[in-house]
Structure 1
Amino acid sequence: MQKQFFLIFFGITLFFAQGLRGQSGIVTISGIVKDAAGTPIEFATVLVGDPTTEKPITGTTTLLDGSFTLETEAQEFYIEFSFMGYTTKRINDPEIINGLLDLGTVVLAEDAEQLDEVVVEGEVSQTVFKLDKRVFNVGADLSSTGASALEVLNNVPSVTVNIEGQVSLRGSQGVQMLINGKPSVIANEQGNALGTLTADMIERIEVITNPSAKYDAEGTSGIINIVLKKEEKRGVNGAVTLNTGIPNNHSLGFSLNKRTEKFNLFSQLGVGRRTFPSDNESENRNLLDDTNINSFGKSDKNETFFNLILGTDYHINDLNVITLSGNFAYEWEKENSTALFTTFDNADLRTDAFERRELTTATNPKYSYELQYKKDFEGNPEQSLLLSATGNLFAKDQVSDFTNTTTVGTAGDLLQRARTDFGQADYIFKADYTHPWADTYTIETGAQYQINDVESDFGISEFDGTSFVEDPALTNIFEWTQKVLGIYGTAAYEKDKWGLKVGVRFEDTDVATLLQTTNEENDQRYNNFFPSGFASFKANDDLSFQAGYSKRIFRPRLWDLNPFFNIRNNFNIRTGNPNLQPEFTDSFEITSIYKLGKVSMNFGVFYRHTTDVVERVVAFENNISISRPENIGINNTTGVEFNAKYIPTNWLSFTNDFNFSRFAREGDFEGTSFDFVGEQWSNRLLSKIKLPADIDLELVGNYVSGFRTVQQEITENLFMDFGARKKILKGKAILNLSIRDVFASRIRESQTIQPNFYLRNFSRQGRFVTFGISFGFGKGEAMEFSGQKRF
């Protein structure tokens, strides 16, 4: 059905294109574009426009020799020639003879001032505050060279990404990740695919700490929406980038779009290979008999990846657009790891030791596609109707072979194998209608139906001397189905000084889990209302205030529910809980935005009240720890947030992002109290320096304090990133250098201190150095392309 749909759509597209070409009254325009020295200008943009409306009619770009040919049905038009670094030239009322217009040689003069402006605009990342969200426009941040979406996120105010790739907003991991306003396999934690989404593909990132009723209620700490680029510049435009780095970090990126009067074809392609080395340590100590088991190991994860985004917009007319787009990503994974496990008695004497080796191979195909229809309304440019259908598919076929070789003691050697056959399909159907009137009031309404369908076939087997035999107790098929229907309505009033927006969302949730082998079922159905409200006041051009409230939900995800566990470390096991309940959060915040000369500041306070909080609880027996999520009590978090940007000169700027939160936990589990009070804070300081000869530098310092959970204490983190850039060929090409974690100081360390046991886990990935070169053509700008998936 999918293939038939694509064939039908592109057949219709081709039919319209050929039909337009076959009409009578066509004018053929030709010529050659050169600079003042007589050198042909390749990829210069040639635009044909309507002299009455000033709207483009059609366009193209010049070939290698500067020549061009295009056709139009219009009889009255102007022609405009442009290229980055040159002044734009316009020809009005050209003379047409027998349907032909030969312009001969068109000369463009260099414009150094325009080139400087383009460079500056391409480098500045700015945060824009709107009534119910903040928008971070991703510029050419130097430290993001060769970066994935995860690393770009780590430069966004209020957002942190730890060494394991977990995204937090204001210190909380209850974040709903969206791509282009919708859940996507790219942002799905099971797919772990944000690494294939690269910095050059991102147009902006929206941080919504208090989402309005228009958005999904999922995500107790808010929503992060990654908006991908979709060029619509006339003619053919694009960019190509090549990156290489240490450790292995090699990639090629390519983007291309072609815009005509009716169609916009857009595409992005990325291929590469990368390696992620890691040092790992763990310790399990039994405090009752003072015995302990520790491990020290290394691993190298190698990935070859491919990512393709392809789509087309068909402009039926000025008010109606149909968009069909698709994304295909594929990863080939191979991981080797070695760890030495040692057991000590209460006299600290070594009693047993073995070396555990792992070889894991996996393939991860990911597909997503969307059909969207947008209707604008004549006379009201803000009024719109948007209908969309989206599909996301993800699969994982993984095999892990483990070998235990005894080095001390009498235990025999052991061979184990773990296999995973995983499949997930997500479908989303949306309708959104926006109706503003009188330049003051806006009503939004819409509905969404989302289906998540997962099947995970998992098994563990041991070698009995002849063959591998699966353990029935550790083998099962887990099915998870979730259906959510949402309906919302909002009303907004916004004048020069005051703004007000209120709304409510209703969501009906139907969840079902099944362990096939044991026939254990758990079905849940619940429905909830999620109100929201926002107010803004603009005292003057330099001072404004915002206040907001929203109710949110965190629904347990697949890995929270799936009871299977990984045997990579047989002494530290993580598993899911099929009986887990959702948690709910009431979120309040007040923020202010203030500009004082060369300084712009944002200061806010927030409060979150969360019930049925999901926390991982560790059980300990026979020196084995088992971590399982449970619903434990309530959490009250109060915090402050401060962001500031200072530009003392045109060659130097500083940006600071500070967050502090204090949380109070109340709850008990199986007779154990988990009441406690804790604090967490983080600070990020970014400085940009412009040097002569078009050289730019960037330094980013990050600090994340230690904090505690119901059982764990997480160690603090201090690390730095560095970036440098040099523009060449009049800004058409860019050389990039980035060093992430300059001092290899970024770590992930946790300690669990309980009356009967002590646990410690430590990991570090080290320094990553990436060098890249990017070239833009047409009206495309040079870009950076990721060769890095994680820190």
Structure 2
Amino acid sequence: MSIRYSFTLLLVLFLGTCVSAQSENTGDKITFSGQVIDAGSEQPIEFATVRIAQRSDETAQAGTTTDETGRFSVTADLRDVFAEVSFIGYETVRIDSITVRNGRADLGTISLGSQSQQLEEVTVRAEKSQTEFKLDKRVFNVGKDLSSTGASALEVLNNVPSVNVTIEGQVQLRGSGGVQILINGKPSVIASEQGSLLGTITADMIESIEVITNPSAKYDAEGTSGIINVVLKKEERKGLNGALSVNAGVPDNYSVGLSLNRRSEKFNLFSQLGVGYRELPNDEETVNLDKTSGITLFGDGREFRNEKYYNLVLGSDYHIDERNVLTLSGNFAYEIEDQPSSYDYRQTDAAGGTLARWRREEATEATNPKYQFELQYKRDFKDHKDHDLIISAVGSLFSKDQASAFRDISLEGEDRSGQQQTRTDFGQTDNTFKIDYAKPISEKVSIEAGAQYVTNDVSNDFAVSNFVNGAFVEDPALTNVFNWKQKVAAAYGTWAYEPGAWGIKVGLRVENTDLTTLLESTNESNDRTFANLFPSGHASYKISDAVSLQGGYSRRIFRPRLWDLNPFFNPRNAFSVRTGNPNLQPEFTDSYELTSIFILGEASINAGVYYRYTTDVVERITTFSNNVAITQPVNVGTNRSTGLEVNAKVTPARFLTLTGDLNYNFFTRDGALEGVVFDFSASQYSGKITGKFDLPKDIDFEVTTQYLSAFQTVQGNEADQLFVDAGLRKKLFKGRGALSLSVRDLFASRIQISELEGPTFSQYRRSFRGRFLTMGFSYGFGKGETMEYLGQQRRF
């Protein structure tokens, strides 16, 4: 079992060559046969590749795959041949010495060992292994995360070690923002900040999640905290394979996910479909105090973000020959948003007397079509399995057509009645062109090199209209067209040396950024060009099979995006608004870390320390005027952060597996803005414990408890949070099906409370989403398995 789970965690990008054999015959047909098994579990391996090749030029002359018992039989009429057996995630075995009797060559039982024994990766090998450690990243397997059943990708991310997702949907890595999210190693409209399309990817569609806290120079320099790469499933077994997932939950949450794959000799056709509807209620409470006048504003309301969503992926691999593959894929997603919301406001004077009471109602509708297309060519060279060339082009388009209607209804005191309308016409086009080349120079030395060119073109046409004298009149002070264009050209190179028990990898990336913003209403523009170097370095030392050390360094950048730069805001909450800053500068981070990995039987511990130094830190600073809190991003000084992280896994009993995740972070902020000093030191920590229970009757139970400590911010503090997620699963149909029940925030205790304090104001804010209950059923057909059932799947 442990080998199967470890295998599922491996993200193997290249399938090694296969099987051959030598014949002593002189032209007669020879039948080669045998059985292929896993060296660890001694279980048969289905669909392993067997190839018969000629010694002189290693040309394949015959081949086949193993059946469900691991057995094979193939006929060839060659004399000077050898045999090779391979399967994804295993070492390739070559057989040169072959005995032929009566026209048959029995190769016997062939054992394949897992590739997880290689120096550059150490795999946690407990029975329910979830995490794989590599030289520059960790890989988290989603397949056994019961509490993520029926969940979106954002909710799954919250179960990944080192990762937190706030109530507002912000993804944090080791307690910090500035995380770049990739889909299958590439930027995607699904992971863009302009929408919530990560919610259209269900847990059942995710193969694994890679957490890269110190990316090498091969990766984009974007993301000061690191990179999270979401790897989607794609089958590559012959015939028709597929899996179906159906989920329903409370609050209203319905989804259907379908994954289909058909593999022939030359083509691998793959598709995924996700359709669903969900309600995302959010209770908000705010208290704004103007210390100068003594006037206090109380706000209490409920927001909804109701969504119908459709997500379709279609693609095909064309195997030109055994070493050249062409892939064409497309992704279409469509959201229909409905946001009925209502706020009750009460304004009081310094003595507590009511000045006014009114209600603000909102009706918002939006449609968000999103497209992405990718063309990729991959060449695997003959001399080494890790010698390859990948050329790719990715284009994406995201647009939003949104209309909102606001109505204020006076209930008491001063008349606050009024109506307001807004419209948004948003469009974004992104293109990424990339070439990556990797070549082992020798058994100890390897190099990587590549280049990338990215273009981003965004336009946001936004207008606000007020109801005046019986008609809506556009407000020119709140209406604008904001254009944002960015071009990033990059090139990189890495060099790795692994002579034995230790290894090093160094790299350098150079990026040149052209950024242009234009506010059409005032003709204000801000053009910037900057070139930067981003070095990286990684080292590993394998003390023994049970103990390894890893160290890493990288330099990262956070480039302001559209919503950070656009100076206008949406008046959804007229007394707590957020706006951009067109003069915002990028922030840079130097990141260092040292990690130790201990594997003790069925237990494992990953402990590390890290240090980050960030300049031109982007902080959201709140100012106050007429009971309106305006929050804007600004560059405020530097931040020094030192942290300790521990991940542990232990199996105290055959029916129980425990995993834990602890992160402690101490930081020092230095900075000033317009005469206000923001120097302070503080700390924060988070902890997560998950228990997995194997119960009788093929029932699994999982419970996760997570705690986020309170911490200080530049203007106030955030309260702590303690919450519990749980899941129950019953396997059906000999593992092909599964019935699941999951509860997120079991005790409805995940409440976000923030307090701001300034010389002339204070603000209290409380946000609460509540408990989510989901029941799901999944089933695998053909040669596929249920989404939960772990099979032999190709990663890409």
2:459 to 433, 440, 455: 455
Deviations 1:592-613 (A, max 9, x none): 0012233200110111111000
Q: Which residue of 1 aligns with 2:148?
A: 144
Secondary structure (helix, strand or coil) at the match of 1:379 reads: coil
Whole-angstrom CA distance in 2 between matches of 1:561 and 1:75: 61
- Asked if structure 2 preserves the Cα contact closer than 8 Å seen for 1:125 and 1:138, the reply is no
1:204 to 204, 208, 233: 208
Q: Which amino acid aligns with 1:480?
A: W
- Asked if structure 2 preserves the Cα contact closer than 8 Å seen for 1:145 and 1:784, the reply is no
Whole-angstrom CA distance in 1 between matches of 2:606 and 2:46: 43
Secondary structure (helix, strand or coil) at the match of 2:345 reads: strand
- Aligned ranges 1:479-558 → 2 under 5 Å: 479-558=483-562
2:777 to 773, 778, 789: 773
Give the deviation of 1:500 after TM superposition.
Answer: 0.3
Does structure 1 residue 782 correspond to structure 2 residue 781? no
Q: Which residue of 2 aligns with 1:280?
A: 284
Q: Which amino acid aligns with 2:778?
A: S
- Asked if structure 1 preserves the Cα contact closer than 8 Å seen for 2:723 and 2:745, the reply is yes
Q: Which amino acid aligns with 2:332?
A: F
Q: Which amino acid aligns with 1:358?
A: E
- Asked if structure 2 preserves the Cα contact closer than 8 Å seen for 1:457 and 1:478, the reply is yes
Give the deviation of 1:731 after TM superposition.
Answer: 1.4
Q: Which amino acid aligns with 1:52?
A: I
1:375 to 371, 375, 379: 379
Q: Which amino acid aligns with 1:509?
A: T
Deviations 1:668-690 (A, max 9, x none): 00011000001110000000000
- Aligned ranges 1:577-588 → 2 under 5 Å: 577-588=581-592
Q: Would you say how many aligned residue pairs link Structure 1 and Structure 2? A: 693
Q: Which residue of 1 aligns with 2:269?
A: 265
* 1:776–1:275 distance in 2 versus 1, CA, 3 Å: same
1:410 to 403, 407, 414: 414
Whole-angstrom CA distance in 1 between matches of 2:47 and 2:599: 40
Q: Which residue of 2 aligns with 1:312?
A: 316
- Asked if structure 2 preserves the Cα contact closer than 8 Å seen for 1:356 and 1:403, the reply is yes
Q: Which residue of 2 aligns with 1:753?
A: 757
Give the deviation of 1:121 after TM superposition.
Answer: 11
Q: Which residue of 2 aligns with 1:435?
A: 439
Does structure 1 residue 735 correspond to structure 2 residue 729? no
- Asked if structure 2 preserves the Cα contact closer than 8 Å seen for 1:213 and 1:530, the reply is yes
2:679 to 657, 675, 681: 675
Q: Which residue of 2 aligns with 1:235?
A: 239
Does structure 1 residue 569 correspond to structure 2 residue 577? no
* 1:726–1:515 distance in 2 versus 1, CA, 3 Å: same
Q: Which residue of 2 aligns with 1:326?
A: 330
Q: Which residue of 1 aligns with 2:300?
A: 296
Q: Which residue of 2 aligns with 1:52?
A: 52
* 1:134–1:49 distance in 2 versus 1, CA, 3 Å: closer
Whole-angstrom CA distance in 1 between matches of 2:438 and 2:444: 13
Whole-angstrom CA distance in 1 between matches of 2:65 and 2:223: 50
Q: Which amino acid aligns with 1:521?
A: S
* 1:517–1:129 distance in 2 versus 1, CA, 3 Å: same
Q: Which residue of 2 aligns with 1:387?
A: 391
Whole-angstrom CA distance in 2 between matches of 1:464 and 1:363: 28
Whole-angstrom CA distance in 1 between matches of 2:65 and 2:545: 40
Does structure 1 residue 156 correspond to structure 2 residue 156? no
Does structure 1 residue 342 correspond to structure 2 residue 341? no
Give the deviation of 1:229 after TM superposition.
Answer: 1.4
Deviations 1:300-337 (A, max 9, x none): 32111100011000000011000001111101111111
Whole-angstrom CA distance in 2 between matches of 1:47 and 1:153: 32
Q: Which residue of 2 aligns with 1:22?
A: none
Across the aligned residues of Structure 1 and Structure 2, the Cα RMSD in angstroms comes to: 2.1
Deviations 1:709-751 (A, max 9, x none): 2113111110000000001111111001000000111122211
- Asked if structure 2 preserves the Cα contact closer than 8 Å seen for 1:454 and 1:479, the reply is yes
The TM-score with structure 2 as length reference comes to 0.85
- Asked if structure 1 preserves the Cα contact closer than 8 Å seen for 2:50 and 2:66, the reply is no
Q: Which residue of 2 aligns with 1:559?
A: 563
Whole-angstrom CA distance in 2 between matches of 1:152 and 1:319: 35
* 1:48–1:149 distance in 2 versus 1, CA, 3 Å: closer
Give the deviation of 1:562 after TM superposition.
Answer: 0.9
Q: Which amino acid aligns with 1:778?
A: G
- Asked if structure 1 preserves the Cα contact closer than 8 Å seen for 2:506 and 2:537, the reply is yes
> What is the percent sequence identity of the aligned residues?
57
- Asked if structure 2 preserves the Cα contact closer than 8 Å seen for 1:531 and 1:551, the reply is yes
Higher relative contact order (CA 8 A, sep 6+): 1
Give the deviation of 1:414 after TM superposition.
Answer: 0.5
Deviates more, 1:372-381 or 1:136-145: 136-145
The TM-score with structure 1 as length reference comes to 0.85
Give the deviation of 1:665 after TM superposition.
Answer: 0.6
* 1:315–1:762 distance in 2 versus 1, CA, 3 Å: same
Give the deviation of 1:169 after TM superposition.
Answer: 0.5
Give the deviation of 1:467 after TM superposition.
Answer: 2.1
- Asked if structure 2 preserves the Cα contact closer than 8 Å seen for 1:175 and 1:221, the reply is yes
Secondary structure (helix, strand or coil) at the match of 1:151 reads: helix
Give the deviation of 1:193 after TM superposition.
Answer: 1.3
Q: Which residue of 2 aligns with 1:645?
A: 649
Give the deviation of 1:619 after TM superposition.
Answer: 1.0
Deviations 1:50-95 (A, max 9, x none): 66369xxxxxxxxxxxxxxxxxxx997768654xxxx56756669x
Q: Which residue of 1 aligns with 2:473?
A: 469
Q: Which residue of 2 aligns with 1:223?
A: 227
- Asked if structure 2 preserves the Cα contact closer than 8 Å seen for 1:199 and 1:784, the reply is no
- Asked if structure 1 preserves the Cα contact closer than 8 Å seen for 2:180 and 2:227, the reply is yes
Deviations 1:219-264 (A, max 9, x none): 1111111111111111110011111111111111111000111100
- Asked if structure 1 preserves the Cα contact closer than 8 Å seen for 2:369 and 2:400, the reply is yes
Give the deviation of 1:338 after TM superposition.
Answer: 1.0
Whole-angstrom CA distance in 2 between matches of 1:673 and 1:78: 71
Secondary structure (helix, strand or coil) at the match of 1:150 reads: helix
Give the deviation of 1:47 after TM superposition.
Answer: 7.5
* 1:201–1:170 distance in 2 versus 1, CA, 3 Å: same
Q: Which amino acid aligns with 2:528?
A: Q
Secondary structure (helix, strand or coil) at the match of 1:173 reads: coil
- Aligned ranges 1:122-201 → 2 under 5 Å: 124-201=128-205
Whole-angstrom CA distance in 2 between matches of 1:495 and 1:326: 42
Give the deviation of 1:351 after TM superposition.
Answer: 1.2
Q: Which residue of 2 aligns with 1:704?
A: 708
- Asked if structure 1 preserves the Cα contact closer than 8 Å seen for 2:52 and 2:61, the reply is no
- Asked if structure 2 preserves the Cα contact closer than 8 Å seen for 1:290 and 1:346, the reply is yes
Whole-angstrom CA distance in 1 between matches of 2:48 and 2:551: 47
Q: Which residue of 1 aligns with 2:93?
A: none
Does structure 1 residue 654 correspond to structure 2 residue 658? yes
Whole-angstrom CA distance in 1 between matches of 2:609 and 2:62: 58
- Asked if structure 2 preserves the Cα contact closer than 8 Å seen for 1:237 and 1:780, the reply is yes
- Asked if structure 1 preserves the Cα contact closer than 8 Å seen for 2:126 and 2:651, the reply is no
- Asked if structure 1 preserves the Cα contact closer than 8 Å seen for 2:125 and 2:602, the reply is no
Q: Which amino acid aligns with 2:270?
A: F
Q: Which residue of 2 aligns with 1:722?
A: 726
Q: Which residue of 2 aligns with 1:664?
A: 668
